[in-house]
Amino acid sequence: MSSVHVSTKINGDPTEYVCEADETLLDVLRNRLGLTGAKEGCGTGDCGACAVDVDGGLRLACQETIGALEGTFVTTIEGLSKDRSHPVQQAFIAANVPQCGYCIPGVVMAASVLLRANRNPSEADIKDAIPNLCRCGIYPRLIDAVQNAARIARGDAPAPEPGQDAPTPAQSEP
Ligand code: FES
Residue 140 confidence (pLDDT) above 80: yes
**C-alpha to C-alpha distances, 129 to 27, 46, 139, nearest whole angstrom:** 24, 14, 13
Q: Is 102 in the pocket of ligand 1 (CB under 6 A)?
A: no
Give the pLDDT band (50/70/90) at residue 3. confident
Measured CA to CA in angstroms, residue 142 lies from 45, 88, 108 at distances of 21, 10, 10
- Residue 140, judged by CB atoms within 10 A of its CB (0-12, 13-18, 19+), counts as exposed
Under the banding of pLDDT at 50, 70 and 90, the label for residue 165 is low
Long-range CB contacts for residues 126-135, cutoff 8 Å, separation at least 24: 129/58, 130/48, 131/48, 132/47, 132/48, 132/49, 132/51, 132/103, 132/106, 132/107, 133/41, 133/42, 133/46, 133/47, 133/48, 133/49, 133/103, 134/99, 134/103, 134/107, 135/100, 135/103
Helix (H) or strand (E) holding 107: helix 104-117
Residue at a domain's end among 80, 101, 117: 80
Query: Is position 134 within any domain?
Result: yes
| CA 40 to ligand 1 centroid distance, Å | 6
Looking at the structure, tell me whether residues 126 and 74 fall in a common domain.
no
Contact 54, 73 (CB under 8 A): yes
Rounded to two decimals, what is the model's pTM?
0.90
Task: Output the pLDDT for position 12.
Answer: 93
Query: Is there a contact between 47 and 103 (Cβ–Cβ < 8 Å)?
Result: yes
Distance 60 CA to ligand 1 centre (A): 6
What's the pLDDT at 4? 84
pLDDT for residue 32: 92
pLDDT digits (tens, 9 = 90+) for 10-23: 999 998 888 888 89
Whether pLDDT at 174 is above 90:
no
57 and 15 in a common domain: yes
Q: Are 53 and 97 in the same domain?
A: no
Q: Are 125 and 73 contained in the same domain?
A: no
pLDDT at 161: 72
Domain range for 137 is 87-161
Best residue among 30, 47, 65, 109 to mutate for probing ligand 1's pocket (most ligand atoms within 8 Å of CB) is 47
pLDDT tens digits for range 8-67: 999 999 988 888 888 999 999 999 999 999 999 999 999 999 999 999 999 999 999 999
More confident site: 172 or 127? 127
User: Does ligand 1 lie within 6 Å of residue 41's CB atom?
Assistant: yes
The answer to whether residue 167 scores a pLDDT higher than 70 is no
The residue whose CB lies within 8 Å of the most ligand 1 atoms, and thus the one to mutate among 24, 44, 104, 107, is: 44
CATH code assigned at 26: 3.10.20.30
- Is the residue at 118 inside a domain? yes
Specify the pLDDT at position 164.
Answer: 58
Query: Does ligand 1 lie within 6 Å of residue 47's CB atom?
Result: yes
- The pLDDT of residue 122 is above 80: yes
Q: Which atom of ligand 1 has the smallest separation from the CA of 60?
A: 1
